[in-house]
Structure 1
Amino acid sequence: MRVVKGAVDRSLQAIELLAREARWMRMSDIAAELELEKGPAHRVLAQLCEQGWAEQDEQTSQYRLTLKLSLLGQRYLHGLGLPGLVQPILDEVAGQCHELVRLTVVNEGTLAWLAASQGAAPGLMYSPSMHSAIALHATSVGKAWLAAMSNDDAVAHALRGGLGKSNGPGTSKAITSVDQLIPELERTRQRGYGLVVEEAEPGVVALAVTVTSLTDGVVVGTISIAGPVLRIPGERYDAFHTLLKEASEKLGSVWPRASVGAHVHEAA
């Protein structure tokens, strides 16, 4: 039984690695990342190819995932009905604020992007990647989520997400220490929303609130509005906060009981 469990663990780790990288990878690099000898790594990859999870290029002998994982994830989400339930809510907010609206879900101790709606006109869009990692201490969604937990838990999550690292995520305006994080979490709690002004990206401001499932009271994600600083001055914050709160309540009322965290855009 121990051998079977180890094989499953290694296979899942390989799938997660290939999903994060989303590119062709050499077997030696995969083995190094998984801390495996080349022999065991080759067996894991061969099994994934045999089962249709991965494929190997005949010319370079490199590996990457097939679309099997993505397709299964999409089927699961559609089975839950979540995309169809949340998209109209995001579209409504985007139509009112005329900016980018995005939804995250809590997934494996962090946040991951799930859905978005673009309300800005063509040529004026702020359109970041939905596959990028979420720096909890440098994003509005991260601050909103961290503020919903105890300071001790928030600090632990933020440190794991890169807070305090010399090459950590965020701009020069981002929080860089626990001493800066704690007061910011208190300000977030007091005003009711997470706020970043050019902390995650230059020239970008974002506001976010948490989404709480009405079935069990658990924070399941966040909803945010983001756009250029020139289009979102401070006098618009209250109106955007109102839109986010109303949307959060709607999202919480339709959120399914089953978890959706395992089938979102990976934030790693």
Structure 2
Amino acid sequence: MTSTDLNPAVPVAAPAVGIRTFHPRRGRMSGRQTDALERLWPTYGIDIAALDGPVDPAAPFGRGAPVVLEIGSGMGDATAAMAAADPDRDYLAVEVHTPGIANLLDLVQRHGLRNVRVAQGDALDLVRAMPEGCLDAVHVFFPDPWPKSRHHKRRLIQPGHVALLRSRLTDGGTLHCATDWAEYAEAMRETLAADPELANAYDGYAPRPAHRPVTKFERRALTAGRPVFDLIHRRVAPAAAATARG
């Protein structure tokens, strides 16, 4: 993997082709975030659009530890907390919102995290460049629900995308999704259950896992009366997945 300079004054570019599953947003950054972006991006940042050829997700970390892919890391608080509590795995966070990237870089430095790298751009483009079976886990926490019916085609958790993500998991690797949008949660549950090589680790929705930190976003959802739904599935052989579905 290589990284190039990320200009904080320029909004994230849209993919050249295909349907975006995210909505790039402009945002103002604090002086601390701007400083973190300028100083730390060359060391910890990965420009997905600049990648050329196959991608080894472990390469930026310089060791052979299991890799967790975080899709949509937001402001990075949850990613930083999980990485700090899980030093034996490496966390590759993907985000399109520049202030969130900058904030995570600042957290990486402040907490001395060696097991975090931050990628900017379309996570699906990055995943397509990875070999099969290279990820220990994929986290998709609070993706854009695209609530209008005409926008459902933009949702990240849909059959084709799930098949791609699952193919990059190791045997026994986990795909962990969370949302506070009830209708999307049910669509996620049905989509994940239909995949021939995923088995639900629980009977339906998972109890809230202790390893997923409560973020400001989640607190706002709970305050507004929106429950949070977790779904945790593991990659298994097709026959085992069919047995698990019963």
What is the TM-score with the length of structure 1 in the denominator? 0.25
Larger Rg: 1
Structure (1 or 2) with the greater helix fraction: 1
